[in-house]
Chains A and B, each alone.
Chain A
Amino acid sequence: MRERMGSWRRRHVLAGLLGSTAMLSAPAILRAAPSGKPVRVGGTLSLTGFLAQTAVIHKIASEIMVEEINSRDGFLGRPVEYVLLDDQSKPDVARSLYEKLITVDKVDLIQGPYATAPILAAMGVAQRYGKVIVQSSMGIPKLQTYDMAFPATPFGPEPDKSYPNVILDAMASLPAPPKNMVILTSKFPSAQFMAQGMKVEAEKRGVKVPLYLEYEAGNRDFGAIAARVKEANADFLWVGSLGLESNQILEALKKLEYTPKGSFHLYPAPGPLALSPDGNLAWSSTFLEPDEPFMSRPGVAKIAAAYKERATKANLPYPLIDAQAAGMVSEWQILEQGVNGAKSLDDKQIAAFLKKNVVNTIYGPLKFDGLYNHGAPAQLIRQVQNKEWKVVWPREFAAPGVKLLP
């Protein structure tokens, strides 16, 4: 009896073990892992040269997304392979490499490079070969005239008009709304484009611009510029900066014992500005921050965690996901939904699908039915509060308890 009982127990324990193993491994079995010949997606990033500091962010985001897509169903059940080349931050190199990717490497699809000039170069090649190109960083949407080019970031078709008004709305909400502003901008094309728009829209709404200055990208000394900003002593400082230029400008102002009453920075290096003692309460542009309500969007928390892990490992000084990394995530999400939605790798069919359908991205639902294939703009304002970026405007995108501080 005891023997039979022992045998019964063993059988049940074994059955239980087998059952548990089967249950644990079930998701992997049930999920149809992509198989067959990989779908090759080619693209370039500025892994070297003056844009390299941003390319590393896009590279990490791409690696995460390729793994993510392959952990699902790949493209049409086939694994995705990312063929990444270095365009050295040079549009002419980008042009040649896209030509090579399409004609020599014979990739199935292409993914856009980073920054307006390389994108324009790549777009010309894409147009010649009838390829869909998705990009996330063309700051001047009106230059995207190719009908199979799609923006992954919700700039909207006229950010030089829409975004200044978001800033002006936020300014108007302050207890003492600024009556005038100094506009200081890099001559980097997308920054200059936004600065000119800011000047026009500010004057339209009665905010005077007593000083408008442009400096060369890569300007080394901000001493004289700071002296002019101080002398103008406006209620608000709008800076069309790139990278650490914002830190340099604020430091140069501090050396003159001058702190602007309020300041906005277009494309700053997010970490250094947030951590700088001069950056407190600075405003900047964004589309997403690792905070609510964005983290509640499906899959965002997982991607943000993976990004933080890899960016920390890659020794990036600001390892948090933000609009920059999210742009590349969105590019892959658009391509994935475009291919699987069209059920084809044919570029024309993918483009037709994208134009007719809403695509869910890390930025929320995106449409491509407007001017230059853009949907509605979704620019937000973030502000440095206690050394962290917080989305503060429009109010509905601010996390609970967070508000724009004067």
Chain B
Amino acid sequence: MPSATLLGQALISGVLAGGMYGLLALGLSLSWGLLRLVNLSHFALAFLAAYLTYELGTTYHVAPWWSVLIIVPSMFAIGLAQHWVFVRFKVNELGSLLITFSFAVILEVGIQLYWTADYRRFETHYATWSIKAGPFYIPVLELILCLVAGVLAWGTWLWLRKTYVGKALRASAEDADIAAAYGVDHRKLAYLLSGIGAAYAGVAGTFIALIATLAPAQIWAWLGVVFAVVIIGRLGNPLGALAAGMLIGASESIAMAVFSPAWAPVVSFSVLIAILLWDPEWS
């Protein structure tokens, strides 16, 4: 039987790892829930941001907290351009899946051409910093990631609930024609939301560069678990995405501590199936 310290440490690791799932799920959940566009290229954009963070950090010695100031607006602009393509070619939900998959593949090839297929690691002296709390260790970078994910999820939730723009976006997602009858310009708002989703991918990418391994094929490593998180957290619900991310992360980590690490990938989909069958009020 694992000790309480092991279980506690696994729980901390899992919740913090879940912060990354939540952060990656945030932009995807918004575009899928509110624009009805399934943006598979979200993962590729996050990795492009990760590689840019790596490049700026290793070649030009730009600290990641400065590089994010360049990367996030750039990603926002890419999000706008991507949405222009969706509008121009009248892309529907299924079509978006195919087009964004193609876009992700093109980005993967582009990344491979420039940075090669070799593994890249952005080594920093603070990558292994931890805070000691009793018998537990809290990794600093992952904690910051979780806090950033929390602020973004909470801020986005408030924006969608409390502001006119947020309410208009939700109304358009419910019924675009009725919202338009009330003077909501759905098209402009959709551009804004696309940009924000891509910008969130930029933020996630910066953290990916700091805590994970970079290889072009890794783009697809997060896909399954993040999709499960988006569905469990409910489409278009930023707080739900974060909570679901942490739930999955913690479940995976406890499974690794109690049973075998090889069980971790099974956990996210088992939780997804269980919640879909149970269909609780909050999901």
Contact = CB atoms under 8 A, between A and B. Distances in A.
A52 interface: yes
A52 B112 contact: yes
B110 interface: no
Interface stretch (B29-37, B92-100, B117-125, B235-243): B117-125
Interface string A271-286: 0100110100000000
Contact of B115 (A89, A254, A257, A315): A315
Given A213-B260, A215-B261, A221-B249, A227 B112 contact: no
8 contacts: A48-B112, A48-B216, A53-B118, A215-B264, A224-B13, A224-B257, A231-B5, A314-B116
Interface of A: 47-50, 52-53, 55-56, 89, 187, 213-216, 218-221, 223-228, 231, 243-245, 247-248, 251, 254-257, 269, 272, 275-276, 278, 314-318
Contacts of A228: 2, 6, 256-257
Interface in B114-164: 115-121, 123, 127-130, 132, 137, 139
A154 B115 CA distance: 32
B270 interface: no
* Most-contacted residue by chain A among B10, B12, B128, B132 (CB, 10 A): B128
Given A218-B221, A224-B261, A56 B213 contact: no
B215 interface: yes
B217 interface: yes
A116 to B, nearest CB: 18
Interface in B5-26: 5-6, 9-10, 12-14, 16-17
A221 B13 contact: yes
Given A89-B217, A254-B128, A231 B6 contact: yes
A276 B119 CA distance: 14
Contacts of B10: 223-224, 227
Nearest to B58: A317
B26 to A, nearest CB: 17
Q: Is the interface of B mostly helix, strand, loop or mixed?
A: helix
Interface in B187-244: 212-213, 215-218, 221-222, 225
Contact of A48 (B117, B123, B127, B221): B117
Interface residues of B, number: 49
A244 B213 contact: yes
Contacts of B252: 221, 224
Contacts of B222: 220
A144 B260 CA distance: 31
Nearest to A212: B260
B253 interface: yes
A179 to B, nearest CB: 22
Given A55-B117, A216-B264, A256 B137 contact: yes
A50 B222 CA distance: 14
B6 A219 contact: no
A231 B260 contact: no
Query: Which 3 A-B pairs rank lowest in CB-CB distance, beginning with the nearest?
Result: A223-B13, A52-B117, A215-B261
Given A53-B119, A228-B2, 12 more contacts: A48-B108, A52-B117, A56-B116, A216-B262, A216-B264, A218-B218, A224-B252, A224-B254, A231-B5, A244-B215, A251-B127, A276-B123
Contacts of A255: 128-130, 137, 139
Contact of A224 (B112, B215, B253): B253
A314 B113 CA distance: 10
B203 to A, nearest CB: 18
A278 B127 CA distance: 11
B78 interface: no
A245 to B, nearest CB: 8
Contacts of B218: 218
Nearest to A248: B213
A225 B10 CA distance: 8
B180 to A, nearest CB: 42
Contact of A316 (B5, B118, B217): B118
Nearest to B225: A220
A231 B130 CA distance: 18
A216 B263 CA distance: 8
A223 B253 contact: yes
Contacts of A220: 17, 212, 221-222, 225
A272 B137 CA distance: 25
Contacts of A257: 130, 132, 137
A256 B131 CA distance: 9
Contacts of A53: 116-119, 215
B118 A317 contact: yes
